[in-house]
Amino acid sequence: MSGMTLSDEQIRFIESGVSISLASRDVRRVPSVSKGVGCKVAADKRQVRVLVDAAQAGQLLEDVAASGALAAAFCLPSSHRTLQLKGRDAREVPLEPGDAELAARHREAFAADLLPLGYALPFARATHDYRGERLRALCFTLSDLFEQTPGPNAGMRLEPAR
């Protein structure tokens, strides 16, 4: 779909303290996965940047460089609400000023969502741990958007925001 964009509400959701699971594939279509540690959507509402820790995302970074394919699932643990975004032109891009702070804010917001569920703060933070010197950024143009919240609409393709 050309011109696929996210709504303001979808942007707020994926930029909040959600769990970010990233996936790509190699030339043999063998999957690679990694956790994301932050997200920022560009003003055009089409370009999505996700941050990863290179030590955790080594194979994913290689596969994205080779294939350009990236799927990103954004899930809020307290509600299980999940959106999946896909891109076909993913690539590593330079970090931007403020990316380390973005990752830190994301980790704290994610931890805050887990605390009422009975998780201890050290565990909640550890699930989105990263090292600042190992941060890398991947950028992709939104090509597909799916509702993935468990329930009758899971897997439903969502239409572009207007």
Which pLDDT does position 2 carry in this prediction? 52
Backbone angles phi, psi at 62, to 5 degrees: -65, -45
Q: Domain-by-domain residue ranges, the chain?
A: 8-150
Q: How remote is the C-alpha of 126 from its chain's centroid?
A: 17
Rounded CA separation 92/137 (Å): 6
Rounded CA separation 24/47 (Å): 17
Superfamily of chain region 8-150: Electron Transport, Fmn-binding Protein; Chain A (2.30.110.10)
Instruction: For residue 144, give both structure tokens.
Output: 């597909």
**Closest among 94, 83, 64, 61 to 7, alpha carbons compared:** 83
Which pLDDT does position 70 carry in this prediction? 98
Instruction: For residue 41, give both structure tokens.
Output: 């959507």
Rounded CA separation 4/116 (Å): 35
CB 53 within 8 Å of CB 37: yes
**Closest among 109, 106, 94 to 130, alpha carbons compared:** 106
Instruction: Go through 84-107 and write b for each residue having 16 or more CB atoms within 10 A of its CB, e for each that does not.
Output: bbbbeebeeeeeeeebbebbeebb
Rounded CA separation 6/87 (Å): 13
Is 115 in a helix, a strand, or coil?
helix
Question: Each residue's pLDDT tens digit in the chain (162 positions)?
Answer: 457 899 999 999 999 989 999 999 998 999 999 999 999 999 999 999 999 999 999 999 999 999 999 999 999 988 999 999 999 999 999 999 999 999 999 999 998 888 888 888 888 777 778 888 899 999 999 999 999 988 888 899 998 776
Rounded CA separation 100/142 (Å): 23
